[in-house]
Amino acid sequence: MRATGDVFEQQALDHLQRAGLRLLERNFHNRFGEIDLILREDDTLVFVEVRYRRSRGFGSAADSVTARKRERIVRAARGYLALHPECSGLACRFDLVAFDGPAARATPDWQRAVFDAGDG
């Protein structure tokens, strides 16, 4: 499963970089959780969760980001900020790049500001 996740993570990164975002870090993790991609868009730090679902039998890829998962992402983001005080003046945003359907045809659905730190 990790190989599949890596493929979609790279596709998401390519999509975001084409849109002008700059990669800061991939697969940041601490004791609270993991953040797939951390990018910068102008004066905004963007924490990105990448999700793929082959079938919608149990909901969409976006539906798989539960309240618990959001909380872990927010806590991990706070940890990232503590390690990178140079980012303290930047606004923060939590985005999702979701892929649904057969892998060969899945396209990125970039959802900006899908939740905020108050949701976590």
Domains of the chain: 2-119 (3.40.1350.10)
Quickly list DSSP for 7-22: HHHHHHHHHHHHTT-E
Prediction pTM value = 0.92
CB 102 within 8 A of CB 59: no
DSSP state for residue 113 in the 8-state scheme = E
- Please choose, from the candidates 25, 112, 42, the residue with its C-alpha nearest in 3D space to the C-alpha of residue 77: 25
Per-residue pLDDT of the chain in tens (120 residues, 90 and over written 9)? 567 678 999 999 999 999 999 999 999 999 999 999 999 999 999 999 999 988 766 778 888 888 999 999 999 999 999 999 999 899 999 999 999 989 889 999 999 999 887 655
